Structures are given as C-alpha cells and as structure tokens.
Amino acid sequence: MSERVIDVWTKVRLHCPLAPANLCRDWVNRAQRLVGSRRPWSHLRLFGQITTDNAKNGLVTANRGSTIILGPGAPTPLFALSDVGRQLRIGTASPVNTIVSVDLSNDTAVIQEPWGPLSVVAAQSTILDAFVTMPKDFNRFLGIIDPVNNWQLHFYMTEAQLNRWDPKRVSTTTPWALVSRGYSALEATLGQPQYELWPYTTAAKFYPYAGIKQPKVLGDLDPLEGPFQYRPDVLELYCLSEAASWPGPSFDQKNVYFNLANAAQKRADFENELWILEQRDDEIYPMLKESVSWLNLPFAPLDSRFMQEHDAYSLGLVSSYF
C-alpha cells in the first residue's frame, strides 16, 4: 500500500513530539510544493485538447455603458446557455467581450466589460471562441499541435507583441499562435490560466496538447504521488530538517530535536536523495518534449512581422544563420 501524507508527518512527530500536528502537516505540504516545482516529474505530465465551436451570427442591440446585450428574440433567439465563456464581437472592428451569463427568457446576455462604442440597434454580431481557458491544475505547455495542418502552434508569444501586429484583432483565419492573456475572471473558472487563440477562428476545431500540471495539495489520507509513493523517506528528510530548525513552542518548552547542525545535514541529505530520485524519474519517463512523437512536428509558419522583430536563431527557429 502506498504511503499517505499522514504516515509521513506522524513519523516526523516521533522525533519532535512537541510539534503540533498542523505544523508537521505544514512541513509535509511545504516539501511537496518544493519538490513539485523542482522539475517536470513524470506524474505531472498532462495531456488534453483545446476545442473551438462554430461561430454564429445574429443581430443585437447594445447601449453604451451597459453590460446587457439584447438578442433578436423569438422566433430565432441568438443566445444559448452554451455561449457562457465564449466571446461576442459586435461589428467587425470592436473588441471581443466575454459572455458572463445568458437569460433565455428574454434572449439577453451579460458581457464582462460594458459596451464602449456608441449605442447600436440591430447590429450584426458574432459569437466565437477567441479565448481558451485551461484546466485548474494546468501549469505550462510542452507543446500544442494543429492536427489538420500538421504543425505546432507557437505559445511563447506575448500579448504586447500581438497588440502591435493586430491591435483590433481583425484577423480571422487559421490560428497559429496561443498567446497568454493572464487568468480567467469568470466565477466558474476564476483564476485559471487563459490564452488567446490567434488569428481568431470561426470553425469547430481541436488542438491536442501536452503539458505539465500543478502538483496537488494532498490531504492527510491521500497517497503520495509519483515516485514518492515508494520513497516517502525523501519527504521525511525535508521535514526533519524543518523539525531540527524549530526551537519549540515556548522558552519553557524546548524542542529536544532542535539542532541547527543536524538541520543542515538533513537538508543536505534531502537534496542528495532528491537528485537521485530525479535521475530515476528521468529513466522511467524522459520529460523532454521529444518523447512525445507528435511534438516533433514543425512550428506554424511565422508572420513576416514577427521575423523582422526577433532573432530567429536565438529562438531556435533556425539552426544557423547560414
């Protein structure tokens, strides 16, 4: 049976009986966060796909300064519950705005930011998937591909670069870049990483990706993850270094395990054992992206403006200047 979080901190507490359970538990959690962020462990490998749906068009009414958008209503309403989280564009040059909620009874939608331009009546609009929100445990990409065009999407570009090339986001063709926007502000996906898929697409598509997920914060009864299931002693070494650094709850109650030299030794032992565990983890599942065969596909052709603004050699886009 795999070791659990409670098994680790109760063993540590045997050395340091004055330490409260919550403090010992915090040492284990701190160890897990530290080792989880140290490298892309094999158990943190993440596979998924980004999907877009077909865009739809319809006439809407929007009042300046209001977040309420009115659809045409019966007999052909525009908005659906599935539109929540998608983006709405009114006209061809206005910014896209995320749909926060939909009221089917009167065919209205609430958008994230108030409508800024002049009020419009029966204006042409488009609902599309311009932004994509990643899972809550998502950390970073190893790669993402377009299986139709057999290329990888670029995901190292910044929003500032995109604002220089296409400030009004008028490009709607085959996407070739995934640009970081920050974090979702919607209640259902609050704080989850969000990206802009550019150029915008109006078609139903899917993009498989490989990435790294965030290490979980485990509860007392949860089993340890990955290689630590069979090497809980590595986490124990870190916790013992913390225990040896803790003088005790008060001047009258001193921690008998307190010893700074011992703390330094335990931390050194922890680093050494962790390094060994990292090598073994690499042997089990090399984390280089080349280990995922479809990530060997070429990247999408870059826009000429990007090539003019960047050093292609230093970005690894070409192997040599000559």
pLDDT in tens, 170-181: 888 899 999 999
Q: Which CATH number fits domain 56-128: 1.10.10, 1.10.101, 2.40.30, 3.30.420?
A: 2.40.30
pTM of the predicted model as reported, rounded to 2 decimal places: 0.81
Nearest C-alpha neighbor of 49 from the set 197, 226, 200: 197
| CA separation for the pair 7, 29 (Å, rounded) | 13
Q: Which pLDDT does position 168 carry in this prediction?
A: 87
CB 278 within 8 A of CB 270: no
Tell me the sheet residues that pair with 193. 183
Residue 99 CA, chain-centre distance (Å), reads 21
Where does residue 227 fall: left (phi above 0), alpha (psi -120 to 50 degrees), or beta otherwise?
alpha
Length of the chain: 322
**Which residues of the chain fall short of a pLDDT of 70?**
1, 286-294, 303-322
Q: Which pLDDT does position 311 carry in this prediction?
A: 53
Q: Which pLDDT does position 318 carry in this prediction?
A: 45
| CA separation for the pair 4, 14 (Å, rounded) | 16
- The DSSP symbol for 4 reads B
Torsion of CA 226, 229, 233, 235, to 10 degrees: 50
* Positions of CATH 2.40.30 in the chain: 56-128
Q: Which pLDDT does position 313 carry in this prediction?
A: 46
CB 152 within 8 A of CB 211: no
Percentages (nearest 5) of helix, strand, coil residues in the chain: 30, 25, 45
